Structure 1
Amino acid sequence: MRIDPIVVQVRRFSRFRPKRLVPHAVSRRLRRFYAAARRQWRRSLQFRVVGITLLLSAILVSAFGYTVASLISRGVLRTQVDTSEDQILRGAREAAGQLEGYTQADDPGLPGKMRSVAIDLDRSMDIPDSEVVILRQGTTLGNTASPDNGAATVMQQSSMRRLRESVVGSRSGTWQQIETLDVGQGPTRFLVMGTPIITGGEPLELYYLLPLKAENDLVEFVALVVTVTGVALVALLALIAATMTRLVVKPVRVAARTAQRLSAGLLDQRMQVKGEDDLARLAAAFNQMAANLQRQIVRLEEMSRLQRRFTSDVSHELRTPLTTVRMAADLLFASREDFDPAAARSAELLQAELDRFEDLLTDLLEISRFDAGFAALDAEPTDLAPIVRRVAERLESLAERCKVPLRVEAPEDGAIAEVDPRRVERVLRNLVGNAIEHGEGKPVVVTLAIDEAAVAVTVRDHGVGLKTGEEKLVFNRFWRADPSRARQTGGTGLGLSISLEDARLHGGWLEAWGAPGKGAQFRLTLPVRSGDRLVSSPLRLVPDDARADEAALIGETP
C-alpha cells in the first residue's frame, strides 16, 4: 500500500495545530481588550471617572476591611488568651497539688499519674478537640520521657522550641503562640499555652492546646461580611459615579454633537436648555454663541455674494464700452504711421493697456466663476507634450525680448492624461510667462514627466527667487514679491490664483519652491485618470541643482 507523505504531514500538522494556536489566540484577545480599554480611556470622560472611582474606592474599602478584620481577630484572640491564662494557671496549681508527692524522677508511678492528671485537666476544660500535655522539664524534643500522648509527640515535632525554652527557663507566668498542628483530625490552628508546674520533686511543664476553630470561623465570617459589603459598596460607588458623571457628561456630549453639526454648516442647530443650573447656563451661552456665529456667517456670505455679483456685473458691463474703445484703438493703432511720433507712441500705449485691461476683465470673470462654484471641468484624454511645446512657442517672442533662453524637456512618446486642455494650457502659460519675466536673462527650463498615476510639469527659472514663506503667498490674489516694482511689469495679479483653482479643479497640486538668488520652480501635478487621488508626483519640487548645493553646504552626498 502506498502512503502519500504530503497527506501524512497535513494530518500531523492538523493534530498539533490547536495546541500551538491556543496561547496565540488568548494573547490576541488580551491585546484587543487592552487596546479597546485604552481607546475607551482616551475618548470617554465617564469611563475615566468611573475607573478612577472604582480604583480609589477599592483601595479605601480594602484598607478599611483589613483594619476591621484585624481588630476583630485580635480582639477575639485576646479574649481567648485571657481566658486560657486563667485556666492554665488553675490547672498548673491543681497539677502541682496532685503531683506533689512524687519527688523522685525514677518513680514508676509518675508517668501514670501524669497521664491521669492530664486527662482530668482536659475534661475540666470542657472544650472540644482540646489537648493537655504534661512533660518532664528535663526531656528534649527529640528524646522525650513524656506520657504516651499523641498531642505531645506532635507538639515536640513541631516548631515550638522557643515556647519550651521560655517555659523551661521560668518559674512563673505563662507563654503562648499560635501553631498549626495535626493531632489526628487534620491540620488545625491551635493556641498553644505553656507554664511550668512547680512541685517539690522533678520540674514539669504544662501545655494547653486550645483549638481556634470557633475563632477562625468568626474571623472568616467577619472577613466574608466585610468583603461582600466592600464589593457592594464599591459597585454602589461606581454606579453613583457613573450616574453623576452622566448628568454632567451628557450635556457636554450634546454640545459636542451640536458643535459638529454647526461646523458642518447646519447653522440652525441649538442645545435644549433645561433648568437654571450651571449646565443650563452653559447651554444658553452655547446657543447665544451659535446664534452670533450664524448671524456673522450669514452676513459674510451675503457680503461675499454681493462682492462676487459686483465683480461679475462690472466685468460684464465693462465689456460693451471696452468693445467700442477697442474698435477705436485698433483704428488708431493701424493708422499710427501717419501720426507724429508722440501720437504714434500714444496709440501703441493705448493698444497695450487695452490688451492688459481686457486680460484683467477675463481673469476677473474667471475668478468670479470659481468663487461662485460655477467652474466646470471638461476632461478628456489629452497628450500634454504638444501643449507644453505650443505654450513655449507662443511665449518665444517674450523670451527673446527678455533675453531668456527657453528650453522644453518632454518625453518623445508623449504624456497622455484625462485633463481639461484649455485650463492646463492656461496654467502653463501663466507659469512660463512669470518665469520668463522673473528670469533675469537666465535660462528657463520646462520639464514634463509621467508615471502610472500622475503627470507633472515643472517650470524652473534662475532669477531672484523667493524668500522663506513666499512660496504660499505667490498664489494670493494681487500679491507681488516686490511691492516697489511698477504695476506695468507682470500680469494682472490673478494668474497664479486662477492657476491654483484650475489645479484644484483637476484634483491636482500646484506648488512653488524658491530661494533668494537661486531662482524658483513651480510644479503642476495632475492625476492621469480624472477623479483619482494623488499621493506622489513624478517630479521633485526642489530642483536637483538646489539639492546639490544644500548637500555641499552640509558636506553630504546629494
Structure 2
Amino acid sequence: MTAPPHVPAWRRAATVWRRSIQARVVISTLLLSAVVVSLVGWVLLQQVTDGLVQSKRDSAVAESTRATAEAQRRLSAANGNDFDAGTQLTQLVSTLVSRGSVQGYEIVLTGPIAGSGSGVAAGPGTSNTPGVLSDSIPERLRSRVERGSGDETSYTFATIRYTDASGRPAVPGVVTGSQVTLPADGGTYTLYYLFPMTEQQDTLSLVRRALVTGGALLLVLVGGLTWLVTRQVVTPVRLARRVAERLASGRLEERMHVRGDDDIARLGTSFNQMAASLQKQIRQLEELSRVQRRFVSDVSHELRTPLTTVRMAGDVLHDARERFDPPTARAAELLQNELDRFEMLLADLLEISRFDAGAAVLDLEDVNLVDLAHRVVESTRALAERRGTVVVVQAGERPCVAEVDPRRVERIVRNLITNAIDYADSKDVVVMVESSEEATALAVRDHGVGLRPGDAAMVFNRFWRADPARARTTGGTGLGLSISLEDAHLHGGWLQAWGEPGAGAQFRLTLPRRAGDRIGASPLPLVPADAALGQVGADYARVDRRPVGRKAGTP
C-alpha cells in the first residue's frame, strides 16, 4: 500500500478554519477575549505597580526623614566626651545600621562636604551597611543632596547592588538622601538610605501569576462556553449538510430529525418539507423522462419496419422516374430526399435513445486524426463546392494518433465540418489537428455568421439552432452536435465552442491519447489567434479553461 502524502500542519489548520464555522467562532472569540483580558490585566498590573511604588516611596521618604532627625538630635545632645569626630561617626553609623536592620533598609554615609565646617577638609570617606556597594547611589542624587539644604530629603529610584561576598542579588529600590552635621568638627555629611523593594517585587510576582492564571482560566471558560453555544447552532447545520449531500447523491428519502419548537427546529421542518417537495418533483421528472425515452425508443424501432417498406417503394418510384411526367418525376425525387432525411432523423433518435439508456459502447482502435480529417473533408467536398467554400486541413508535426472509436469520431468531425460549411457564408473553413503528450485536438474554424453571446453554451442542445429563420442546405436533423457532444463525453474528452457575431466560430474536439486517461489541457486554443477579442471574446476565453457543458465523469 502507498503511504498517504504528508499534509503540513498549517494546511490542515487552514482547512479547518475554512470549513468549520464553529472553529472560526471559537478561535475568534478566544483571540478577542485574550486581547481584552491582556488589556485589563495590563491596566490592573500597572495600577498595582504604581500603588506599591508610590506607597514604598512615601514610606521610604518618611522613614528616612525621621531617622535623619533622630540622628541629628542624638548628635546635638552629645556631651563633651563625645566631641571626637571619629567616635561620633562610628556611633552614628552603628546606630543607623542597627535601626536599618530592624526597619529593612541600608545606609551609606559620605563626607564631609567641602566648605561645610571651619578647618574641615572635604574627604571621600564612606561608611555604610556591611555588604552594600556605595556606587548604588546615582550621581544625580549625590549632586542634588550635596547642593541641598540640611532639612531637605531627596529621593530617586535606583538598583541596589551588593558585594559578591554577601551573596545577595541586585534589587530595585528607593534611595533617599539628606544632610547631617557632626558637632565634633562642624562638618556636613551626606546620609543615604537604601530601601530595597523586594517585598514589592514578590507582591507584583504574586499579582502577575494570579492575573495570568485567572486570565487563562477565564479564556478556557469563555472558549468552553463559546464551543457549547456554537455547537447548539452548528450541529443542526451539519446534520442538514449531511442530509443535503445524501439528497444530492440520490437518496431522496433522507430527512432531518426535528426536536423541539425553536428556530432550528422550524428550519429543520421547512428543510424536510422542501426535500419532500423536491423528491416528488424529481420522481415525476424521472418518470416523465423514462416515459419519454421509452417513447422515443419504441417509436424509433416501430418506425423502422414501415420506413423500410416506404423506402423500398420510394426506390422503385425513384428508379422509374424517367418514365413519369415531369410533375410526377419531381414528386419521386422529393420523396427520395425526404426519405433520406427521415432515415437520418430515425438513426439519430435511435442513437440518442442508446445514450439515454446508457447502452452506448466504444469500439476502440488507434486512429490517426489527420487521415480521418482528410477523409471527411474529401467526403464533404461536393457540399463545399456547392456552397462555394474551400475546406483546408492544417496538421502539426507531432503524430496525432489516439485510441478512439473511429466511427463515432468520424461522425463528430463530419458534423462539425458540415455545420461549418453551412454557416461559413462561402468563406474558407480550416480544420486544425494538433497533439500533445496526453491529448489530441481537432478544431474546425469558419468565418461566417458566428455565435451570439450565450450561444456557445446552448449550441449542443438537442434541436437548438443559432438562427431559426436561416434556411438549411445540409438537411440536418438538429441532433448532430448533441450526439457529437455525447460521443466526446463517451471518449472522456471535450467538445467546446467559441464564436462572435460576424467573426465566425470555432469548435474544438479534445480527446485523450489513451482511452481512460484524464485531460488537463488541450493542444489547441479554443479562441482562435485571428479573433479580435472584446468582452465577448474574453468571456469565451474563460470557457477555454472551463469547458462548455460538462466533462466526462463530472455531473
- TM-score with structure 2 setting the length: 0.80
Distance 1:138 1:540, change over 3 A: closer
Query: For residue 57 of structure 1, what is the amino acid of its counterpart?
Result: S
Distance 1:243 1:93, change over 3 A: same
Aligned partner (choices 96, 99, 113) of residue 88 of structure 2: 113
Aligned partner (choices 153, 161, 170) of residue 140 of structure 2: 161
Distance 1:206 1:456, change over 3 A: closer
Aligned to 1:287, the other structure's residue is in SS state: helix
**Alignment: residue pair count:** 516
Distance 1:297 1:75, change over 3 A: same
Distance 1:267 1:167, change over 3 A: farther
Distance 1:452 1:69 in 2: 69
- Residue correspondence of structure 1 range 75-474 to structure 2 within 5 A: 75-100=51-76, 109-124=84-99, 127=102, 130-136=105-111, 138-139=113-114, 144-146=123-125, 148-149=127-128, 154-155=133-134, 158-162=137-141, 165-166=144-145, 168-184=147-163, 185=166, 186=168, 187-197=170-180, 201-384=186-369, 387-407=372-392, 416-450=401-435, 452-474=437-459
Distance 1:361 1:243 in 2: 65
Distance 1:285 1:195, change over 3 A: farther
Distance 1:347 1:103, change over 3 A: farther
Distance 1:470 1:75 in 2: 79
Distance 1:445 1:342 in 2: 41
Deviation at 1:528, TM superposition (A): 2.8
Deviation at 1:379, TM superposition (A): 1.6
Aligned to 1:127, the other structure's residue is in SS state: helix
Distance 1:522 1:57 in 2: 59
- TM-score with structure 1 setting the length: 0.80
Aligned to 1:354, the other structure's residue is in SS state: helix
Aligned to 2:548: none
| 1:315-360 CA distance string (max 9 Å, x none) | 2333343334333333332332233222222222122122212211
Aligned partner (choices 493, 510, 516) of residue 495 of structure 2: 510
Greater mean alpha carbon deviation, residues 78-87 or residues 243-252: 78-87
Check conservation: 1:196, 1:203, Cα contact below 8 A.
yes
Distance 2:399 2:67 in 1: 118
Check conservation: 1:455, 1:527, Cα contact below 8 A.
yes
Distance 1:409 1:84 in 2: 100
Aligned to 2:42: 66
Distance 1:353 1:88, change over 3 A: same
Aligned to 1:99, the other structure's residue is in SS state: helix
Deviation at 1:202, TM superposition (A): 4.4
Aligned to 1:26: none
Aligned to 2:33: 57
Deviation at 1:120, TM superposition (A): 2.1
Distance 1:390 1:433 in 2: 13
Distance 1:206 1:410 in 2: 105
Query: For residue 84 of structure 2, what is the amino acid of its counterpart?
Result: G
Structure 1, unpaired ranges of 5+: 1-28, 552-558
- Residue correspondence of structure 1 range 541-552 to structure 2 within 5 A: 541-542=526-527, 546=530
Aligned to 1:525: 510
Distance 1:230 1:509, change over 3 A: closer
Distance 1:416 1:204, change over 3 A: closer
Structure 2, unpaired ranges of 5+: 1-5, 116-121, 535-555
Distance 1:165 1:455, change over 3 A: closer
Aligned to 1:14: none
Deviation at 1:238, TM superposition (A): 2.5
Aligned to 1:207, the other structure's residue is in SS state: strand
Give the share of equivalent positions with the same residue, in percent: 47
Deviation at 1:492, TM superposition (A): 0.9
Distance 1:163 1:39, change over 3 A: farther
Deviation at 1:116, TM superposition (A): 0.7
Check conservation: 1:471, 1:513, Cα contact below 8 A.
yes
